[in-house]
Amino acid sequence: MSTHRRASSRFGRHGLCLGSVLIALIAAPAFAVDIDGRVGPDEWRDAQHITDFRKTQPLNGEPATLATEAWILATPDGLAVAFRNSQPPSVPRTQQRVQRDFEEQVDRINVMIDFDGDHRTGYNFTVSSTDGIYDAIVTNESVFNADWDGNWRHAVGNDADGWSVEVLIPWHIAPMRENSGEVRTLGIYLDRIVGATGERVAWPLASFERPRFISDFAPIQVTSFNQSLLAITPYASSLYDVVGSDNEFDGGVDLFWKPNGQFQLTATANPDFGQVESDDLVVNFDATEVFISDKRPFFTENQGIFEFTTPSDFSQLLYTRRIGGPTDDGAGAADITGALKLNGSLGATKYGVFAAEEADTVGRSFSAMRLVRDFATQNLGVLATRVERPFLDRTATVVGIDHNWRPTARWNVRTRLIGSDIDQNGKSTTGDGATVWADYEMDRGWRQQWIAMHFANDLQINDAGYLDRASTNYAHWQINRRFTELPIDSRYMSKDWRWRVSSSYNDRGQLLNHRFRISRDSKLRNGSTEYGVLNINSAGIDDLLTRGHGPVKLPPSFDSYFEFVRPRIGNWSYLLELEAFSGGLAGNDQVGYTVNFEPAYFISDAFNVYVGLYVESNPDWLVWQRENLIGSFDGEESHLNTGFNWIISNRQELRLRLQAIAVDADVRRGYRVDLSGNAVPVDETVDDFTVRNLGVQLRYRYEFAPLSFLYIVYGRGGYEQANGRDDSAGLLRDSFSLRDDEQLLVKLSYRFES
């Protein structure tokens, strides 16, 4: 019997009994704790004391290397959790300051809560050893979305022997089902990560590396408290357009009202979605749209109820970046008049209602309705969306049904059914889709996964949602093996291998490709991570390249990728990415590559600078021209990504971000695609082309109070595409002269609570 199985058995006798015996955490109604980072024995004397933390990185269930304790206590003001983390001087302790929603490998703790105990939505609260925070919503068992920011309290204390954390999570932070008794059942998970080694220890023994994560949270009983909140956040902004010598003033308000645990209302009037956040620059010549996450506060607040995804990458039925996106008449970004969101529960049924209205005669109307019902080992939900687009004389209605089934501790099965009905210019078009994916956890680190997807040719969900392509019939079988018992002298802490075979056809029965994939995800003992993947693709077709003018036959190809991330050691950290691939019409006869290297130097724990350089060579890059004409190009692409981060304090930061992209595409020749899908050489003119793209943002942020900010943002950018040739280094240098936009934005928002 392996060590992992023995550890699981010990935990099974003493810990898995949580499934039948709930922990009582009954707090005296008048008792409270002082969130100051000092875990006083008197204030935590009535708390549940947790000491049995087990290793989940590596995932072997062994006791923690460093002693870790936690306390859980329900108070009228919220759920209070404290950690005491032993860390002697022999184990380096990170002093690095981090931005909100940081991803750096630093010493930190996590508190995750499933407020309804129904395994559907979790809330993640992270605190670093320097009191930096990260918060996220967890859906679909283990999918984290850090776009959401909550208002919760936290404090850190440090001493020679270790460090301590106290957090207080208000009851009003999330909607909760009605509870008629004196106690409420929550699901909870606690963990601690040691930055210098990457070791993660947790209670209970649950891991997001397994198919089930939220379902494995420990059920606990706490005193049932009811907490109301009214929060009003007005804003005022001034935007000066340097290029147009124009000044624009604006103002609006966000409203959050939670009269009780079963109902929440979020509303916004004349919201300002100015660029206080900067998206990554993208130059995209593909037929599919690039997915961009949404960080706008109204759309991230309690959005978990509307989560409806499929195994297709980034797919979702409600993609809020559509709202306020490019107008249907192509005149720029749409203005939003207002938006409203209701979340609540009626008994065991949760509901969500969403509506948003864009301004002017070309403005769109968005609405969505969500219902979810939880049962003992499964839950069932329905999501309906509707978008009215008067400029296009188009109304889009989409309905999805989702079912999540957890028959045993080893199985997790998720099923989705989708239907769309598009009415445009008096003509109705319907489409359907269905997906199922099943995960099975075996012994000794083995797992299996099966996925099947069907999206009809006429399925259309992108009026309100996101799907990179319809017309898909896809299936794969994957087997995984996790290795956690590696020799102590190995540089690796754990390795996770995956082998996958898949087939993909469009809904006309044409083969897109068969694929064999092998990948490995590794964690090193110094906190670094390593990932590599190899895909071997059969011959097939590309039915999107010509934008509806016929599929193109493609020969066999391969693509491989390697990533190494080294966290800060001394004054340096870095990211290295390497890729080799074939493709196009040449298949394996031509091989391209990419290299991305981004080091960061820490001048101090609060200030770092970084310079990243990305280069790509694609010797047979296919780019659509018009109708069934495509061009084969020898493409070169270069990126410069540089800037600095100065975390002046946990309330104040200054950062610079500069991105420049240069593309040089030298034509090899043009092709017409015949009725059989063959690319036939032609003498028609296909031009060489170049692209330059620039984005610069200098942003100062000061947090007056929780979720109350002053932003001062300078931004500049530009884009230029031209015919002809140039070298990518010269193009990258010349991109700094671009100045399509140059703006200075000052925005002040303040959250009033009662």
pLDDT tens track for 490-520:
999 999 999 999 999 999 999 999 999 999 9
Assess whether pLDDT exceeds 90 at residue 429: yes
Question: Taking Cα atoms as reference points, which of 277, 329, 327 lies closest to residue 299?
Answer: 277
Assess whether pLDDT exceeds 60 at residue 486: yes
Dist. CA 97–CA 604, nearest whole Å: 9
Dist. CA 521–CA 307, nearest whole Å: 27
User: Would you state the structure tokens that stand for residue 514, as one six-digit string?
Assistant: 């068969």
**Which residue has 């390697």 as its token pair?**
562
Dist. CA 415–CA 582, nearest whole Å: 35
Of residues 375 and 233, more confidence is placed in 233
- Tell me, what's the pLDDT at 13? 34
Dist. CA 149–CA 265, nearest whole Å: 17
Residue 277 banded pLDDT, cuts 50, 70, 90? confident
The pLDDT mean for the chain works out to 91
Dist. CA 737–CA 697, nearest whole Å: 15
Q: Which residues on neighbouring strands pair with residue 54, listed in sequence order?
A: 63, 202
**Which residue has 């809330």 as its token pair?**
123
Torsion of CA 359, 360, 364, 367, to 10 degrees: 40
Question: Taking Cα atoms as reference points, which of 460, 342, 319 lies closest to residue 395?
Answer: 460
Per residue in 61-107, pLDDT tens?
999 999 999 999 999 999 999 999 999 999 999 999 999 999 999 99
- Tell me, what's the pLDDT at 275? 58
DSSP-based three-state secondary structure for 464: coil
- Tell me, what's the pLDDT at 9? 33
Mean pLDDT of 151-171: 96
Residues whose CB is less than 8 angstroms from the CB of residue 409 and which lie 6 or more positions away in sequence, other chains included: 212, 216, 441
* Residue 207 main-chain phi, psi, to 5 deg: -150, 140
Per residue in 610-624, pLDDT tens?
999 999 999 999 999
- Tell me, what's the pLDDT at 272? 67
**What Cα–Cα distance (Å) separates residue 647 from each residue in 97, 147, 626?**
6, 20, 49
Assess whether pLDDT exceeds 90 at residue 226: no
Assess whether pLDDT exceeds 80 at residue 336: yes
What percent of the chain shows pLDDT beyond 90?
79
Dist. CA 504–CA 348, nearest whole Å: 39
What is the Cα Rg of the chain in Å? 27
The amino acid occupying position 427 is: K
- Tell me, what's the pLDDT at 1? 32
- Tell me, what's the pLDDT at 304? 84
Q: Contact, 112 vs 217, CB < 8 A?
A: yes
Mean pLDDT of 165-180: 89
Find the farthest-apart pair of alpha carbons in the chain and give their distance in angstroms, rounded.
85
Assess whether pLDDT exceeds 80 at residue 331: yes
Q: Which residues on neighbouring strands pair with residue 367, listed in sequence order?
A: 355, 386
Q: Contact, 517 vs 535, CB < 8 A?
A: yes
User: Would you state the structure tokens that stand for residue 478, as one six-digit string?
Assistant: 């994957």
Dist. CA 462–CA 281, nearest whole Å: 22
Residue 219 banded pLDDT, cuts 50, 70, 90? very high
Residues in the chain: 754
Mean pLDDT of 537-559: 97
- Tell me, what's the pLDDT at 16? 39
**Domain boundaries for CATH 2.60.40.1190 within the chain:** 3-226
- Tell me, what's the pLDDT at 274? 55
Buried b (16+ CB within 10 A) or exposed e, 179-191: eeeebbbbbbbbb
Distance from first CA to last CA of the chain, Å, rounded? 57
Q: Contact, 645 vs 611, CB < 8 A?
A: no
- Tell me, what's the pLDDT at 458? 97
Dist. CA 747–CA 92, nearest whole Å: 40
- Tell me, what's the pLDDT at 31? 56
Mean pLDDT of 705-734: 91
The amino acid occupying position 436 is: V
Per residue in 284-310, pLDDT tens?
889 899 888 888 888 888 788 899 999
CATH topology of domain 3-226: Immunoglobulin-like (2.60.40)
User: Would you state the structure tokens that stand for residue 337, as one six-digit string?
Assistant: 């008049």
Dist. CA 593–CA 679, nearest whole Å: 24
Conformational region of residue 119, where left means phi above 0, alpha means psi within -120 to 50, and beta covers everything else: left
Per residue in 528-546, pLDDT tens?
999 999 999 999 999 999 9
Conformational region of residue 426, where left means phi above 0, alpha means psi within -120 to 50, and beta covers everything else: left
Mean pLDDT of 744-751: 94
